[in-house]
Structure 1
Amino acid sequence: MSQSISFAKAAFPYAEALFESSKLMKLIEKTNQDLVLITDTISQSDNLKTFLLNPLVGPEIKKKVLHKLFLDQVSSHVLNFLSILADRRRINLLNPIISYYLELVYKLKLTTVANIYTAVLITDIQQESLKKKIKNITHSREVKLIIQINEELIAGFVIKIGSKIIDMSISGQINQMTSYLDIANL
C-alpha cells in the first residue's frame, strides 16, 4: 500500500469528524475560512512545513507554535482540532484532512470542484463561461474552479471533475492522433 493511500485512509475520519462538529456548531463557513488560512500560511513557509512534518519535534512544541501562529486568526474550534492532531502525531495529515473537509463542504452545498489545467491564464469572462457550462453539465448550484498553468498543453485546456476528464488541449489532440495512427499502422 502506498504512503499516499494510507494517508488518505487515515485522514478521512479526521476530516469527517471536523466537518460534523463544525456542522453541529454552525461553524462550517468559519472553519472553511480558517483551514484556507492555515493552508496558505503553511504553504508559504518551507521552514514551517519541515518543522510540522519533523517526527523528532514533540507534540507539545508543535502545539505551542501552532497556538502562537493562529491564536488570533482562527476559531478556538479549529485551534483545538490542530492540538488534537499534534497530540496524536497526525499533523502530517493536515493537507489531506483539509482537502477531504473541503470536499464534504462542497457536497453539502452542491458545489462541484473543477480542476482546470491550461497553457495560459484564462480571463474572468472565460472562467464565468466555464462555470456556467460545468453547472449545466453537473447540475450543481455552484462551481469552484481550481486553475493551474501547464505549459506542456501547448494551447487549450483540460477539465478534471472527479474522475472525469475533458481534454480540449492541443497536446491531447496530438496524443489522440498519434495513438490513432499507431493503431492504423498495425
Structure 2
Amino acid sequence: MSEQRVASRYAKSLLDLAEERGTLEQVKGDMDLFRKTLEQNRDLRLLLRNPIVKHDKKLAILRAIFGGKVSDITEKFFAIVTQHNRESALEWVATEFQSQYDVRRGMQVAKVTTASPLAPALREELNKVVREQSGLQNVTLEESIDESLIGGFILRVGDKQLDESVRTSLRKLRNSFNENPYQHHIN
C-alpha cells in the first residue's frame, strides 16, 4: 500500500478521534507544528524514512522533540504509528490531515504555479474551476512562481494536477517529434 494511502487513513483516524474528543483544533495545531518542523528539518524527515533506525528510537526522538508541545492524543498517535512501523508515512499524515480538515470545514486549498504573477481575471477563473470541481465555495489559491514554466500554469487540487504550462507543452511536442514514424533514414 502506498505511503499516501496509509497516510490518508491515519489522518482520517486522527481527525475522527480528535473531533470525537473535542480536541480537533488542538490536534490541528499539533499537526501544523509537526509539518512545519519536518519542512524545516531535512534530517528528521530522513530519520523517519530510514529503515535501519529502530522504531523505538524514532519514537524516543519524536517524544524528545514534541513532548510537552503537543497534546496527549498526538503523542499517543506517534506511538501507535511507530508501533506499526509506519513512521515513514508520518510526513504525509500531516499534509493529509490538513487536506481532510479543510474539506470538513468546507474549504479547498488549490496550489497554482505560474511563470509570472497571476492576472486578476485568471485568478478568478481558476477559483471558479476549483469551486466547480470540488463542490466547495470557500476556495483558497496558494500561488507560487516558477519562471522555468515559461508560460501557462500548473494547478494542483488535492491529488489531482492540471499542467497547462508551456514547458510541458514543449516537452510533449519534442517527444512527438522523436516518435515521428515518417522519418526517412538516409543510408
**TM bracket (short chain):** 0.7 to 0.9
1:24 aligns with 2:20: yes
- Please give the alpha-carbon distance, in whole angstroms, between the structure 2 residues aligned to 1:74 and 1:131: 36
Q: Secondary structure at the match of 1:68?
A: helix
- Aligned mates of 1:176, 1:50 — CA distance in 2: 34
> Could you tell me the percent identity over the aligned residues?
22
Q: Which residue pairs with 2:179 in the alignment?
A: none
What's the TM-score, normalizing by structure 2?
Answer: 0.73
Per-residue deviation, residues 72-113 of structure 1 (Å, max 9, x unmatched): 322121121112112221110012222322222122112112
Q: 1:87 to 1:121 in 2, by over 3 A?
A: farther
Aligned counterparts of 2:171 and 2:55: Cα–Cα separation in 1: 49
- Which residue number in structure 2 is paired with residue 163 of structure 1? 160
Superposition RMSD in Å = 3.4
- Aligned twin of 1:182: none
Distance 1:84 1:140, change over 3 A: same
Q: Which residue of 2 aligns with 1:9?
A: 5
Aligned AA for 1:28? L
Contact 1:119 1:152 in 2 (8 A): yes
The match for 1:65 among 52, 55, 61 is 61
State the 1:10 CA deviation. Answer: 2.7
Counterpart of 1:89?
A: 85
Report if aligned partners of 1:62, 1:86 keep a CA contact under 8 Å in 2. Answer: yes
**TM-score of the superposed pair, with normalisation by structure 1:** 0.74
The letter of the residue matching 1:163 is K
Larger Rg: 2
Q: Structure 1 unaligned runs (5+)?
A: 180-185
1:56: which partner in 2?
Answer: 52
Structure 2's unaligned 5+ residue stretches are 176-181, 183-187
Contact (CA 8 Å) 1:156, 1:170: kept in 2 or not?
yes
Q: What SS does the corresponding residue of 1:146 show, helix, strand or coil? A: strand
Instruction: Give the whole-Å Cα distance in 2 for the aligned partners of 1:27 and 1:127.
Output: 39
SS of the equivalent of 1:155 reads coil
C-alpha displacement of 1:176: 9.1
Amino acid at match of 2:100: L
- Alignment of structure 1 residues 8-157 onto 2, 5 Å: 8-120=4-116, 129=124, 133=128, 137-138=132-133, 139-157=135-153
